[in-house]
Structure 1
Amino acid sequence: MKLEQAVGLVLRKHRTVEKISQFKLAKLTGYDRSFISLLERGQRVPSVKTIFVLTEHLQISPSQFIDEVHELVDSDIMEYD
């Protein structure tokens, strides 16, 4: 799985677990709702600062977010070994 896709899946997963809409997450973080959508669809990659801002409102640590993304990317790599 590509990094962009993994970021999007992890972001969407935690946003839905917290029952936060894209609109509400955008309002909480100061980002545009369309930017949240682009991230979730794997069309943009967030900066480290953006990850910190997003995870603050998703009730997870930035390191947990990165670990989950890493697991998805690695699991895909392992399938081809």
Structure 2
Amino acid sequence: MYNRIAVLRAERSMSRQILARELGVNQQTVGFIERSDYVPSLELAFKIARFFNLPIEAVFSPEPFRPLSEQLYEMPRKQA
């Protein structure tokens, strides 16, 4: 499971410790989720998405996320 938690935290200048406290989990849990070493429960995934005020699919994905610059500007892919 891929996620954007580290990016979302960085945008808000938020430490793992602060996010963990807000979510009611251990800060190591946040680190494991960010590194994809642990897949959160559905309940925790929704809690994280609600915390960032985003739809769950903006935070988590079964596929790697495209770079934000590519998504925003729909950069054409290079032809081989």
Give the number of aligned pairs: 66
Q: Which has the higher contact order (CA 8 A, sep 6+)?
A: 1
Instruction: Give the number of the structure whose residues are more often helix, by fraction.
Output: 1
Secondary structure in structure 2 of the residue aligned to 1:72: coil
Q: Determine the C-alpha separation between the residues in 2 that align with 1:55 and 1:20.
A: 15
State the secondary structure of the residue aligned to 2:50.
Answer: helix
Unaligned runs of 5+ in 2: 67-80
Give the TM-score normalised by the residue count of structure 1: 0.67
- Write the distance in 2 (CA, Å) between the matches of 1:23 and 1:52: 19
RMSD: 2.0
* Aligned partner of 1:30 among 24, 27, 45: 24
- TM-score where L is the length of structure 2: 0.68
In 2, distance between residues paired with 1:73 and 1:52?
Answer: 18
Higher strand share: 2
Please show how residues 11-26 of structure 1 align to structure 2 within 5 Å. 11-26=5-20
Whole-Å Cα distance in 2 between the matches of residues 27 and 54 of structure 1? 12
